[in-house]
């Protein structure tokens, strides 16, 4: 990591947001060479002395630079080889005509795939390139027809099918053709817009889950309020020539997002972050006062408000469940004739029903096409947008979020099984969305004791 690199990135982002000027790496590099050449002309002795010192001290700093770079490239190479050798499959979940299960069924399914094999020791991780498995949960609208998919390694197919059938006995799980590769999705032929989604607050603070909506208990159909219905209905509104892809790339949370150790010397995880948040809330409830005898300011007794108590309870309940690293990505594609710019506003607001302004967590769009302000003086922005669109589609097709060459780990969030089940579950029959295709009858095998 170069000195002050984070500050430079922050200043670059601030400059772009305030002025619309988007500093590029190549012009800055060329400017640096020009300044170096000009300095050599104006003060050749000083530049020569500085260069001589740098080369003289090269044996002290160059090996560290070369070894660090070579090690990083080695790890990326072995990891890419391992990932490329994994065979994968896309499974479609076809819900039955009647579903009375609550999102708790999907939470049980997610708990069943909270697995982390493959990284048992340093040799497998750094010399074999092994990475723990990840899954992609997908909700897709193809010209208004909504489908639910799960992408997985072939080796985990049996686990996925067993867990789905256990929670949704009338459903069908079938192998499907990869819908992302049926079309070209080239910027020259399609209008493309997409983004990632990140949390508005710290990860341990939960979103409004199905528990807050009362879906933790079976209700009468006319009384159910499923927040996922808004999302399914919007995706079902896509017209001919339009497609909307939404994916949740998930893996077992082990703390890579934070990249540091906790006081106990173990990887810092969202449970440690939750403890800090709770401690800060508790400190805020103790208003200091002056001791009438000594005159010193001392902490007062805890006096939490109802909101503070509810927030502490919500955080503790959230992190008590299994945690996943989650990457959320949405892509809107349309033919030039069918493209509707107002759909972009609907995409950015896909998760509004899971958010609130009273201290709960929420989602906001980030990355990819959200970084373009479309100022008239942004020269060459058209080619840059097309490059982003190609990378966006390729990243979606790879179902990668945490590793090279489609590394978007800066947008990784951590969510509990309860939160994930809220934003991805099979809607009950109380959601009559005609765009969601359901099977008309239940299929099954013949009884084992059938006489022959």
More confident residue, 8 or 42: 42
At residue 2 the predicted structure's pLDDT band, cuts being 50, 70 and 90, is very low
Q: What is the mean pLDDT of residues 141-161?
A: 95
pLDDT exceeds 60 at position 372: yes
Q: What is the mean pLDDT of residues 139-155?
A: 95
**Region of poorest pLDDT, from 149-158, 177-186, 193-202, 435-444:** 435-444
pLDDT of residue 446: 44
pLDDT in tens, 283-295: 888 777 666 777 6
pLDDT of residue 424: 95
Nearest to 168 by CA among 426, 438, 445, 446: 426
Return the SS3 of 32. helix
pLDDT exceeds 60 at position 450: no
Q: How many residues are present in the chain?
A: 452
Strand 242-252 vs strand 145-153: parallel, antiparallel, or unpaired?
unpaired
pLDDT of residue 226: 83
pLDDT exceeds 50 at position 1: no
How many helices, marked H, and strands, marked E, lie in the chain?
13, 11
More confident residue, 141 or 102: 141
pLDDT exceeds 80 at position 44: yes
pLDDT above 70 covers a percentage of the chain that reads 85
pLDDT in tens, 178-190: 999 999 999 999 9
pLDDT exceeds 70 at position 256: yes
pLDDT exceeds 80 at position 339: yes
Return the SS3 of 417. helix
pLDDT in tens, 397-444: 999 999 888 888 889 999 999 999 999 998 877 666 667 777 765 555
pLDDT in tens, 53-64: 888 888 887 888
- Please state the separation of Cα 63 from the chain's center in Å: 36
From residue 211, give the alpha-carbon distance in Å to each of 107, 314, 323.
12, 11, 17
Mean predicted lDDT score pLDDT of the chain:
85
Return the SS3 of 211. coil
| Structural domains for the chain | 86-259+322-423 (3.40.462), 270-311 (no CATH)
Q: What is the mean pLDDT of residues 10-25?
A: 60
């Amino acid at each position: 990591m170069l000195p002050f690199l984070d500050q430079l990135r922050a200043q670059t982002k601030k400059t772009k947001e305030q002025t619309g000027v988007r500093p590029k790496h190549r012009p800055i590099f060329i400017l640096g060479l020009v300044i170096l050449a000009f300095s050599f002309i104006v003060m050749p002795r000083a530049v020569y002395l500085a260069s001589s010192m740098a080369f003289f001290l090269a044996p002290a700093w160059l090996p560290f630079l070369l070894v660090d770079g070579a090690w990083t490239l080695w790890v990326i190479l072995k990891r890419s080889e391992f990932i490329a050798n994994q065979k994968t499959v896309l499974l479609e979940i076809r819900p039955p005509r009647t579903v009375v299960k609550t999102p708790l069924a999907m939470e049980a399914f997610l708990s069943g795939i909270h697995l982390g094999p493959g990284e048992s020791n340093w040799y497998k991780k750094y010399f074999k390139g092994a990475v723990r498995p990840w899954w992609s949960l997908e909700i897709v609208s193809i010209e208004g027809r909504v489908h639910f998919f799960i992408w997985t390694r072939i080796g985990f197919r049996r686990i996925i099918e067993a867990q789905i059938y256990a929670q949704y006995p009338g459903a069908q799980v079938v192998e499907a053709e990869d819908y992302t590769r049926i079309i070209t999705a080239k910027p020259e032929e399609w209008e493309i817009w997409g983004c990632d989604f990140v949390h508005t607050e710290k990860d341990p603070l939960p979103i409004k889950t199905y528990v807050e909506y009362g879906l933790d208990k079976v209700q009468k159909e006319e009384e159910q309020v499923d927040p996922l219905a808004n999302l399914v209905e919007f995706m079902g509104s896509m017209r001919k020539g339009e497609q909307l892809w939404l994916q949740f790339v998930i893996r077992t949370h082990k703390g890579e997002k934070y990249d540091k150790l906790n006081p106990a010397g173990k990887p810092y995880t969202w449970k440690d972050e939750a403890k800090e948040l709770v401690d800060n809330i508790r400190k805020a409830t103790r208003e200091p006062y002056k001791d009438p005898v000594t005159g010193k300011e001392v902490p007062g007794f805890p006096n939490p408000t109802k909101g503070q108590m509810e927030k502490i309870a919500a955080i503790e309940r959230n992190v008590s469940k299994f945690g996943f690293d989650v990457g959320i990505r949405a892509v809107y594609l349309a033919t030039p004739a069918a493209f509707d710019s107002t759909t972009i506003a609907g995409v950015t607001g896909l998760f509004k029903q899971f958010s609130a302004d009273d201290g709960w967590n929420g989602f906001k769009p980030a990355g990819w096409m959200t970084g373009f302000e479309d100022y008239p003086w942004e020269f060459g922005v058209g080619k840059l947008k097309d490059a982003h669109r190609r990378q966006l589609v390729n990243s979606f097709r790879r179902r990668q979020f945490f590793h090279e060459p489609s590394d978007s780990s800066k947008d990784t969030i951590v969510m509990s099984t309860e939160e994930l089940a809220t934003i991805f579950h099979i809607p009950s029959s109380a959601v009559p969305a005609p765009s969601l295709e359901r099977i008309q009858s239940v299929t099954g095998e013949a009884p084992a004791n059938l006489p022959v």
